[in-house]
């Protein structure tokens, strides 16, 4: 009886772990990551920064040729770092 319960528990745990895992290669997956509003990362955003934020572009900090379009917002929108 204990072996059946342990086997069922192991199978259920394995199903939960391996369900829907694609390793981050989904084409329709989310392009945004949020850490409690302290830091928000948007991949390939290319959106203009809000008027109420201190916007800093990476080309103002150093020269680059290949921009990713990512936008990092810090401290609930107080500072926005743009890579475009």
Residue 53 near residue 28, CB atoms below 8 Å: no
Q: Identify the domain containing residue 73 by its residue range.
A: 2-82
Indicate if the pLDDT at residue 83 is higher than 70: yes
Span 19-63, pLDDT tens digits: 655 555 556 666 777 777 778 888 887 888 778 887 888 777 777
* DSSP one-letter string for the chain: -HHHHHHHHHHHHHHHHHTT--TT--TTS--EEEETTTEEEETT--PPPPTTSEEEEHHHHS--S-----EEEETTTTEEEE--
Q: What is the pLDDT of residue 64?
A: 73
Q: Count the domains in the chain.
A: 1
Q: What is the pLDDT of residue 48?
A: 81
* Mean pLDDT in residue range 14-18: 71
pTM listed for this prediction: 0.55
């Amino acid at each position: 009886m204990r072996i059946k319960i342990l086997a069922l528990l192991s199978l259920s745990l394995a199903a939960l772990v391996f369900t829907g895992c694609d390793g981050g290669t989904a084409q329709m997956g989310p392009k945004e990551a949020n850490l409690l509003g302290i830091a928000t990362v948007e991949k390939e955003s290319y959106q203009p920064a809000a008027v109420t934020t201190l916007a800093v572009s990476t080309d103002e900090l150093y020269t680059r040729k290949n921009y990713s379009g990512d936008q990092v917002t810090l401290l609930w929108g107080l500072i926005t770092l743009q890579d475009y």
